[in-house]
Structure 1
Amino acid sequence: MAVTRLLLRLQPTSTRSAASVERVARDHPPAAPVPPALLRVAHMTTRSIGGRDVITLTPKQGTTGTQLLYTHGGCYVFPLLPVHWRIIATLMRESGATVTVPLYGLAPEHHVDEAYALLEGVYRGLAATGSPVFLAGDSAGGGLALGQALRYRDVGLPAPAGVVLISPWVDVTMANPDIRAVEPRDPMLGVAGFVAAGAWWANGADPRSPLVSPLYGRLDGLPPVSVHQGGRDILAPDALSLVSRLREAGNDVSLEYLPGAFHDYVGAPWTPEARATLRSIGRVLRA
């Protein structure tokens, strides 16, 4: 983990400033394709909902019937990357779940309302199968996973079986004063870029509204939530605050907190910490 942190510091950080994020957002590359290694162990189907691709991967062996709706991270401006497919492939192997991955539109061209319209359509279809449906996501995708749980509770849809949050981004304002103290120790992320991307994503709405920043939502009456968070991550202070608020609201919450881990550390499978966390999530999905 320490060696990987050092290597990450050698990489350019596109979220250090609003200008650096804007340069990336001007020309979104396409989402990374499903890797051949994953296609060897899973059947893939792709359908379109509202003009957005939705990819579903079902294990060829050992499927349990559980459904996992996974929303990828990327600060709402970066597309799905090969690292996300690595995470998804490992979760599928560890859990036997069928994984559905909606390729939601990215900011600044697209925004929060469009994403939830797409995700609700996907979720309604999965819930109609009668199988257990989990919501999961990393970083911005973690914010979407939690926001979905709030939305579906409020509109009376069947509750998901659980929510899995990996390094979740749950407050786009980044207003927590503890964040600035973490930033020098974060080898990957910058506060200014996240604030700019969050404003684009809100698209003029209150950035503290629950679907944009679910940390500020009403948090009672949710399914079990598991949070997996590293300490060298500017999103850690809000993730810890979320866990406290979820517990205060009477929810079943588990926290795996690794002080030396960086943002989305589960995407580094060469580290024992990442492998242990993905096995732990797999057990949650099997349960």
Structure 2
Amino acid sequence: MSLLLTATRRLLVLRPRTTTTEQTLDRAIARRGGPAPVSRAVKRVAVVDERIVDGRRVVRLTPRQKPRGGHLIYTHGGCYTFPLIGAHWGILATLVRRAGITIDVPLYGLAPEHTATEAADWLETIYDDAVAEFGPVVSLAGDSAGGGLALAQAVRYRDSGRPAPRHVILISPWLDATLINPGAAAVAPLDHMLAVPGLVRAGRLWAGDLDPSDPLVSPLSSDLAGLPPIHIEQGDHDLFYADAEELHRRITRAGGRSDFRLTRGGFHVFVGAPWIPEARAALARIAAVLRQG
């Protein structure tokens, strides 16, 4: 565990937590703005294009250097209620540079105005378009809530008979909106970013008419057999640690391939802090997976 990781984690106590209570979440939603603009770091390594699909933006990042041929659909985190932030662009710039792949960034509708069902239908269109354009080299990835979306998509595409994603990459994924795993309560004192009450509220908003335990909202409750290879980057000072570990166990028991990479002392989505050597190592591992095709 590096000194930079330890120092950064300790400084997180100075940041306000939007998920401390249901009320803090609702106030933060009322104040939220739009997604962060594409960063200079992204523009240095990628040509940026946008298109509108069924009324919503999809940002495409195409490497300025010759692409290797793979394609990634990346869904961002934010409790399903907050937009993409600058740290997400940092992750994506690194993946473009190190993996040499084209990336689609779908800016899906956020709760409470939008729901998991709407997102699933819309993302299915994005995926079908990508498979039609790139063939069987499309991977899915996401962090936090976006990781939950990535896994839920993989399950949905398996069940609908669509071509499977090449890889599914999960960064500190939120896999169960109910957070009933006792391990979450055990880790809660170590996590200075997330809190259960606000997250459970966000999960209910995202579920809409569904039960929050529905596999579309909480993909950990899915049948996990027959999925493509899963790569998980997870820290043990993260409220979602126990569920990520449980996902790895269940996929393995179901006969699937799961590569679970645990970073000791890692906080929620530590991968988005590029000054930390552990973050750079995790991004290098992810890029290596994506370079496989």
TM range (shorter): over 0.9
Letter in 2 for 1:55: V
From 15, 18, 21, the equivalent of 1:11 is: 15
From 221, 228, 236, the equivalent of 2:226 is: 221
1:55 to 2:59 alignment: yes
Secondary structure of 1:261 counterpart = coil
1:77 is aligned to 81
From 95, 100, 119, the equivalent of 1:96 is: 100
From 208, 213, 223, the equivalent of 1:208 is: 213
Secondary structure of 1:257 counterpart = strand
The alpha-carbon deviation at position 131 of structure 1 amounts to 4.9
Secondary structure of 1:30 counterpart = coil
Two-structure CA RMSD over aligned residues (Å)? 0.9
2:274 is aligned to 269
Secondary structure of 2:14 counterpart = coil
The alpha-carbon deviation at position 94 of structure 1 amounts to 1.2
In structure 2, C-alpha distance between the alignment counterparts of 1:61 and 1:175, rounded to whole Å: 46
CA contact (8 A) 1:66 1:98 kept: yes
1:119 is aligned to 123
The alpha-carbon deviation at position 147 of structure 1 amounts to 0.3
In structure 2, C-alpha distance between the alignment counterparts of 1:253 and 1:77, rounded to whole Å: 28
2:196 is aligned to 191
From 31, 44, 47, the equivalent of 1:43 is: 47
From 23, 28, 39, the equivalent of 1:24 is: 28
2:110 is aligned to 106
In structure 2, C-alpha distance between the alignment counterparts of 1:146 and 1:183, rounded to whole Å: 23
1:166 to 2:185 alignment: no
Letter in 1 for 2:58: V
Secondary structure of 1:9 counterpart = helix
Secondary structure of 2:95 counterpart = helix
Specify every segment of 5 or more residues in structure 1 that has no aligned partner in the other structure, as ranges. none
In structure 2, C-alpha distance between the alignment counterparts of 1:203 and 1:97, rounded to whole Å: 35
The alpha-carbon deviation at position 36 of structure 1 amounts to 2.3
CA contact (8 A) 2:41 2:90 kept: no
CA contact (8 A) 1:38 1:89 kept: yes
The alpha-carbon deviation at position 184 of structure 1 amounts to 0.6
Q: Return the TM-score normalized by structure 1.
A: 0.98
CA deviations on 1:217-272 (whole Å, 9 max, x unpaired) are 01000000001100001010111111100111110110100121000000011011
Secondary structure of 1:128 counterpart = helix
Letter in 2 for 1:15: T
CA contact (8 A) 2:45 2:96 kept: no
Letter in 2 for 1:200: L
In structure 2, C-alpha distance between the alignment counterparts of 1:255 and 1:239, rounded to whole Å: 8
Letter in 2 for 1:19: Q
Instruction: Name segments (4+ residues, structure 1) moved above 6 Å.
Output: none
Letter in 2 for 1:80: L
Secondary structure of 2:147 counterpart = helix
Specify every segment of 5 or more residues in structure 2 that has no aligned partner in the other structure, as ranges. none
The alpha-carbon deviation at position 206 of structure 1 amounts to 1.4
Letter in 1 for 2:239: I
In structure 2, C-alpha distance between the alignment counterparts of 1:143 and 1:267, rounded to whole Å: 17
In structure 1, C-alpha distance between the alignment counterparts of 2:268 and 2:66, rounded to whole Å: 30
CA contact (8 A) 1:65 1:131 kept: no
1:182 is aligned to 187
In structure 2, C-alpha distance between the alignment counterparts of 1:93 and 1:4, rounded to whole Å: 25
* Alignment size in residue pairs: 287
State which drifts further: 216-225 or 201-210: 201-210
In structure 1, C-alpha distance between the alignment counterparts of 2:41 and 2:285, rounded to whole Å: 23
In structure 2, C-alpha distance between the alignment counterparts of 1:40 and 1:155, rounded to whole Å: 38
In structure 1, C-alpha distance between the alignment counterparts of 2:255 and 2:11, rounded to whole Å: 41
The alpha-carbon deviation at position 143 of structure 1 amounts to 0.2
In structure 1, C-alpha distance between the alignment counterparts of 2:139 and 2:177, rounded to whole Å: 24
In structure 1, C-alpha distance between the alignment counterparts of 2:46 and 2:237, rounded to whole Å: 34
CA contact (8 A) 1:57 1:100 kept: yes
